[in-house]
Structures are given as C-alpha cells and as structure tokens.
Structure 1
C-alpha cells in the first residue's frame, strides 16, 4: 500500500483500462476489531473477494483512511481498476463493498461521497432503470446535491441540460433544480484525472435513501448518462447530503 493513491495493481491482476476511485466523507467513530492488523485495504480485498467481485468486476488497487491530499472529513478512500464490460459501470457493488468496509472500521455518519467515474461505453438502458424498483418505498427521501465535474474539459456544462432531462427516466434521484456548486477537491493529484475541478453542473433533489447502495446505483446510472452524451473524459461525481455538517477544503 502507499500513502498516495496512484495507478497500481495487486500481484497477478492484469492492467485495467480505467480507474474507479471513491472517497467517503463523514464522522467515523472507530470500534474495536478482532484483528487490528486488518486495515481498509485488506478488508476491502477480503470483502470483494468474498462477494465474487474481485478480478470479475474490478482488480484491487489501493485503499486507506487518511490522506494528505484529502479534504477535512475524509473517512476512507478506495481505488480499483476496471475493464470494459456490458451493462452499467459497477459503481453500486463498489460502493457497497466500501460501505461494508467502513462498517467494520467503525460507525460512519456519512455526509458525502465522491466517485471518479472513468469513461465508459455502456449507456443506461433497461438493465439499470429496471433495478431502481429496489429503492421504492423505503421511507422518507433524503435531500441531496449531485455534482458532476469534467475537470479541465468543458464537456459536463455543455451537456448539463441533456443530463437533467435524462434523469427524469428514473426516480432513485428526483432532480428538482440545477446549477453550479463548489465541491471539495478530491484526494488525489490533478494529473490522475484531468483535474483540477473546473467544469461542473450540480443538481439538487432527493435520493430514495441515504445509503452507499443508492449512491452507487446513481453513480452507475450517471456514468451511463455521461457516456451516452459523449463525455470523453473521467468525471468526478459528488453526492452530498444537504444539511449535513462537513468542512470543505481545498488543496
């Protein structure tokens, strides 16, 4: 493991064509662990292997909790390599795995999630929209802000209206308004993704439930929308719970 996230692979895994990176923000109350030597990296590796996702949906890369480039409130980060595959980008299982790891490390009061979405060929068809029914009727919806940023490339603002129109095809995230909102810098170097954050669009609305599962579904759907709109670069997705307390910071 390294202190700074960077492209890399666990031994024996072929080099991927894209990188998924997730940063989870919030207040973590640590809990005692039966094996104190198990950290975020080893727990993520074991969990993704146990679920049958390792080397199928992604190749293990790196993970940790603190990072010198992280904004205040960073509780954990995870990085994997992904190959082109049919269907949605596997953001939902990726964040579910990350959420399971954080639950082993402590009790996390999650306030925001950032996900770096690599360019992806799959579009959001019936396979992703039909699974939205899982999130129906789970209780009160959560007000959130969803921000998509294409870094130095102006693609996202150019297609923002189209993205908002397409969001009406599902109700996991009910979009109510659009605009531009500043977000904290992600915990990796600008060269990692065509940064710094510069060209963005934000959408305010409600999420069916405040969970890594629902945020992951939305991430996979958003990746498909960006692909369908012709966005050629990695996109930084930030989903923030409105009203949650989190200090914003920049590098």
Structure 2
C-alpha cells in the first residue's frame, strides 16, 4: 500500500512529535510505578502488600511494565539526541488517542476493575500514537525501529488483566491514600518527591547526552537514584500512601 506523500511529516515535525511522545512515555513510567504501589509492591501482606497470589503477580507485572516503559522512554530520547534535540524529560499531563484526550495524572483508583480499564485505555491511546507516526518514521534516523517496536503498551495492560484474573480479587488495590495523616508522613511524601526530582535530572543528563558513552556516569547515577526512589516508594506504600510524583 502506498503512502500519500502529502501526509508525511517533515523531519522537524516528526522530532516535535517524538518530544511529545517522550513526555507521554515519562508519564507512563510514573503511571506503572503508581500501579505497583497501589497493588502493594512486593511488601508482605501484614505491611500493606498483596493479599493473594494473583495480586502479588499483578504487582510484579506492574514493576516489570514500568521497566519496559523506561526502555521506551530511553529509545525515543536516543533518537532525539542523535538528531541534535536535547530531550526535556517533561512529563505529559494527558495523551490523545482514538477515544479522545485521557488524563495522565498519577491515578487513585477505587478497585481492580477500574484500574484495568484505565490501563487498557491509556495503552490503546499510546499505541495509537506510535502507529500514527510510523508512516513518517523514515525521515528521521533511528525512528523506524523505535516506532515499529514501541507499540506494545496494550500487551502490558493485558498482562495486568491476566495476572489479576477474572474476576480480579476484590482487595487487590491496597494503597489509595494521597494525603499525609501527620508531619512524619508529609516528610516521607516530600522525600519521595525529592528522590523523583533527582531521578528525573539524572535521566535528563544521561538521555540527552550527544554521545551515549559520555552520559555513562549519569546513567549510573540514574540507576542508583531509581533504586533509592523504589525504597522510598516502598516506605510510602507501607504507610498506605501513594507517592505523589510531583513534577520537579
């Protein structure tokens, strides 16, 4: 099937779209980190962790999908950096898909069915954007593989549905609270936001490096910072709090 040349994006237009896509992928990393926290992460049941094997599998799936989203983000940013664009590491507040504009604010979900429905809708929207840009991919070096291989978000949402089962456990969502109960909890939320800011800055330096080898030091910093952020998320979930992931 031939492609109408009049509908193809110019290199600058595609790079602009890839910057938007990178911001969406950043939001999807935060989305799946939040899902994992809502499901109790890998905490023991007595500390707010999953109560069933299905819920524990789902929490593990969420952690794995967050890593997949990080790989999507890094690949899009690599194309931008190679083209001379410095990735901003902004985070999208919404994503446009075939069903309209969907909110990307980190979720507070009531139950597992609502969580599954949200993730399936977001995944469809993000995959739609990959497919929308693919016909123009050849105008920017490296974009073809990234756009062709990146439309896998629906598979992640399907993995969450499979892990939770049908019907999902009624008590699968373990963490919903976003408001600190006291000063100690507020300090914990603030520490989580500080940790997130360090991760975002390290990623910006690493993924924006013109030479990927030159950014190696920032990559190591980002990996360590993500490990610390994971521990802070775990402490917040243990207190029944969802991390705020406030945009730096």
Structures share a fold, TM > 0.5?
A: no
From the two aligned structures, give the one with the greater strand fraction. Answer: 1
Larger Rg: 2
From the two aligned structures, give the one with the greater helix fraction. Answer: 2
What TM-score range do you get, normalising by the shorter chain? under 0.3
